[in-house]
């Protein structure tokens, strides 16, 4: 019995019976999905970029490099606080802009997710949560870290949508393997910061 070959990306196989619907488009295939992803990218990207600008330039009421260095020292990053302050600030600024543009989205989002994994982990102590849980309870709330981290995590898996510079790229057309790779790298960076660079 003859079979047809079809493209799984890096895998091949026999054409499944349901492959008789050529009008089906890859997800997201609707303008409404693209608009929703654009809104998510703009909000999450702009907020991260603003936080990065606060750390790098001291704008928008931010601490600047010296203040960020001091804050990291207070969190236990005594040895690597200065380079980490710059990496954190520049990373949030650049990756936030990349999210807004929809460029290298899963990789940028995983880097931003790593920063929020670290922030949430540092807020959890043996005595409980050291930071306010909700934004109404004060600055640097866990709620904000969770929301921004969840937004970044969502973009790791969904990609930028079609209203983006990523439109048509391989990691957008076949997002799952790239999303898993990006997630592993992001979590690995977070663990490196928490368990190797802290102290």
In a domain, 187, yes or no: yes
Please give the tally of structural domains in the chain. Answer: 1
Res. 22 pLDDT band, cuts 50 70 90: low
- The reply to whether 91 falls in a domain is yes
Segments forming the whole domain that contains residue 85: 26-195
Q: Is residue 4 part of a domain?
A: no
CA distance 90 to 79: 19
Q: What's the chain's average pLDDT?
A: 87
Per-residue pLDDT reduced to its tens digit, 59-113: 999 999 999 999 999 999 999 999 999 999 999 999 999 999 999 999 999 999 9
Residue 21 within any structural domain of the chain: no
With cut-offs at 50, 70 and 90, classify the pLDDT of residue 149: very high
Q: Which residues pair with 71 in a beta bridge?
A: none
Does residue 84 lie in a domain region? yes
Are 69 and 55 contacting, i.e. CB atoms less than 8 angstroms apart? no
Is residue 2, in this structure, part of any structural domain at all? no
Over pLDDT 90: what percentage of the chain? 70
Q: Is residue 75 part of a domain?
A: yes
pLDDT of residue 11: 39
**Tell me: the pLDDT tens digits for 170-191?**
888 888 999 999 999 999 999 9
Asked whether residue 7 carries a pLDDT value surpassing 90, the answer given is no
The contacts of residue 67 (CB under 8 Å, 6+ apart) are 58
Q: Is residue 1 part of a domain?
A: no
DSSP helix/strand/coil, 30: coil
What does residue 147 show for φ and ψ, rounded to 5 degrees?
Answer: -65, -45
| Total residues found in the chain within this entry | 199
pLDDT at 198: 92
């Amino acid at each position: 019995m003859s079979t047809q070959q079809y493209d799984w990306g890096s895998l091949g196989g026999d054409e499944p019976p349901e492959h008789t619907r050529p009008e089906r488009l890859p997800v997201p295939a609707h303008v409404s999905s693209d608009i929703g992803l654009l809104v998510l990218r703009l909000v999450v990207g702009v907020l991260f970029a603003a936080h990065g600008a606060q750390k790098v330039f001291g704008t928008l009421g931010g601490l600047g490099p010296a203040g960020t260095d001091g804050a990291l020292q207070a969190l236990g990053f005594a040895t690597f606080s200065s380079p980490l302050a710059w990496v954190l600030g520049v990373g949030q600024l650049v990756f936030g802009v990349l999210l807004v543009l929809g460029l290298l989205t899963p990789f940028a989002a995983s880097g931003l997710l790593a920063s929020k994994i670290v922030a949430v982990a540092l807020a959890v102590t043996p005595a409980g949560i050291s930071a306010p849980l909700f934004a109404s309870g004060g600055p640097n709330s866990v709620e904000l870290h969770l929301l921004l981290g969840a937004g970044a995590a969502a973009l790791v898996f969904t990609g930028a949508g079609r209203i983006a510079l990523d439109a048509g790229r391989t990691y957008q057309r076949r997002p799952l393997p790239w999303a898993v790779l990006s997630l592993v790298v992001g979590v690995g960076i977070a663990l490196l910061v928490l368990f190797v660079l802290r102290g």
